[in-house]
Amino acid sequence: MMKKNFIATLAIASSSFVFGQVGINTNTPQSTLEVTSSSSPTTPEGMLVPRFTVTELAAKDAAYGAAQNGILVFISSGVGSTGKTSDIKNSGFYYYDNPTSKWKIAGSSSSSTFNVTTEKTASYTALATDDYIKLNINTAGQTLTLPTTGVTVGKIIMASNIGNMPVNILPQPRNASMPINKQLAKENSGSFIYIGNGLWDWASGF
């Protein structure tokens, strides 16, 4: 029995050195891994990579580092807000980019959306995924708080206030030397651009 085990172990060890290429449905792989389609019309074919929701992948933040640079996963649902998943905005294929410690979308996203909020009549804290905020402010002292986490430099958020009272903006736009520039006026619209380090500035409307 010991002799048989030794021979089996030796065979496995030898194969790991001899076979530097792997073929599926082929005996003559032409690369490190080659998957060849079968002729069966009823067999689903392709390659499946690990699939996660954003929440599931975020829970594994500590597992990904330099050794996993370039690894590929598929996100089925969810939007990232913090940590390594903060750049995830839609479902699709993402690869891990170790230099930035972020998951980046692979190629272009066909599922990108333009997110318009429901109408807000009181103070509102914007989400990193908001693109257009509808305001109808008719009470003094209300505030629109712009996001400072999970948002990329260059992100633009547009806001439209059809109410008869202005709304305060937090954090205050960088170009806010005049009091009027610290608010979105009544019956007015404006755009804000994220410039990094928790700072926003007016893009238009001030």
Prediction pTM value: 0.50
Question: Which residues is 125 bridged to in the sheet?
Answer: 145
* Selection from 162, 122, 168 nearest residue 143 by Cα: 168
Question: What's the average model confidence in pLDDT over 145-174?
Answer: 94
Q: What percent of the chain has pLDDT over 70?
A: 85
Q: Is it the case that residue 181 has pLDDT exceeding 90?
A: no
Question: What's the average model confidence in pLDDT over 13-29?
Answer: 68
Tokens for 91, please give them. Answer: 């479902």
Amino acid letter for position 7 = I
**pLDDT per residue as tens digits for the range 37-66:** 888 888 888 889 999 999 999 999 999 999
**pLDDT per residue as tens digits for the range 102-136:** 999 997 554 557 899 999 999 999 999 899 999 99
* Better-predicted residue by pLDDT, 182 or 52: 52
* Selection from 168, 199, 170, 172 nearest residue 185 by Cα: 168
pLDDT at 161: 97
Q: Is it the case that residue 4 has pLDDT exceeding 70?
A: no
Span between the terminal Cα atoms of the chain, in Å: 85
Domains and CATH numbers, the chain: 51-105 (no CATH), 124-204 (2.60.120.1230)
Tokens for 80, please give them. Answer: 């990232």
- What whole-number distance in Å separates Cα of residue 126 and Cα of residue 103? 23
Average pLDDT of the residues of the chain: 86
